[in-house]
């Protein structure tokens, strides 16, 4: 971190005068070389920048890991986590609002989050209804087995039954393999 130098008072019409505004008007000191402000009004951001870069890198790592975990999960159609995250974000924003004007300033963001929660809930209900109309792999295999049993009652030939059962199994496996891709 660089040391703060004692600023030098500037003439009122000096073009090198600090551009900061104080309660008494424009700052009366000379700006630092290659800066528009004096040492009082110039801040060293190097440490803050390093911390920001580190946090950003860590965040992106965590985000990448989380995306990998989500894409490999069977729960990609479940929106409950997203709803929870959005609600927590809304709570955090509301928790930071200590004064009425802060609440007014945050109103657009609050409304956006409320709408996002509403859309996520509506989408979740639609997904749940849609998934309810689909059969699981286990249910399909069970139906195939029941069909084979039904045919077995009508056909006494064991070789034909085995071929039919093998064909059903092949059809189900091929169908399930296509859905997994």
Q: Given a cut of 90, is residue 47 above it in pLDDT?
A: no
What whole-number distance in Å separates Cα of residue 59 and Cα of residue 177? Answer: 35
More confident residue, 43 or 100: 100
Q: Given a cut of 70, is residue 49 above it in pLDDT?
A: no
Nearest Cα to 150, choosing from 165, 139, 163, 167? 165
The first and second tokens of residue 37, run together, are 């402000």
DSSP secondary structure, 99-148, as one string: SHHHHHHHHHHHHHHHHHHHHHHHHHHHHHHHHHTSPPHHHHHHHHHHHH
The first and second tokens of residue 45, run together, are 């951001």
The pLDDT confidence band at residue 116, using thresholds 50, 70 and 90, is very high
In 10 A of CB 29, how many CB atoms?
21
What whole-number distance in Å separates Cα of residue 91 and Cα of residue 126? Answer: 26
Q: Given a cut of 90, is residue 17 above it in pLDDT?
A: yes
Q: Given a cut of 60, is residue 180 above it in pLDDT?
A: no
Q: Given a cut of 70, is residue 71 above it in pLDDT?
A: no
Mean pLDDT (whole number) for 128-155: 78
pLDDT value of position 16: 92
The DSSP element (H or E) to which 21 belongs, if any, is strand 21-22
Q: Given a cut of 90, is residue 111 above it in pLDDT?
A: yes
Mean pLDDT (whole number) for 95-100: 86
């Amino acid at each position: 971190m660089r040391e703060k130098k004692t600023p030098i008072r500037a003439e009122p019409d000096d073009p090198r005068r600090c551009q900061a505004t104080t309660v008494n008007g424009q700052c009366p000191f000379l700006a630092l070389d290659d800066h528009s402000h004096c040492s009082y009004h110039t801040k060293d951001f190097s440490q803050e920048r390093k911390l920001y870069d580190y946090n950003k890198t860590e965040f992106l790592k965590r985000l990448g890991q989380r995306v990998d975990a989500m894409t490999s999960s069977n729960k990609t159609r479940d929106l409950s986590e997203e709803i929870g995250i959005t609600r927590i974000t809304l709570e955090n924003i509301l928790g930071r609002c200590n004064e009425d004007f802060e609440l007014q300033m945050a109103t657009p963001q609050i409304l956006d989050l409320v709408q996002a929660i509403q859309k996520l809930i509506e989408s979740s209900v639609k997904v749940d209804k849609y998934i309810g109309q689909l059969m699981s792999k286990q249910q399909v295999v069970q139906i195939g087995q029941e069909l084979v049993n039904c045919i077995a009652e009508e056909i006494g030939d064991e070789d034909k039954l085995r071929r039919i059962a093998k064909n059903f199994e092949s059809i189900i496996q091929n169908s399930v393999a296509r859905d997994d891709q």
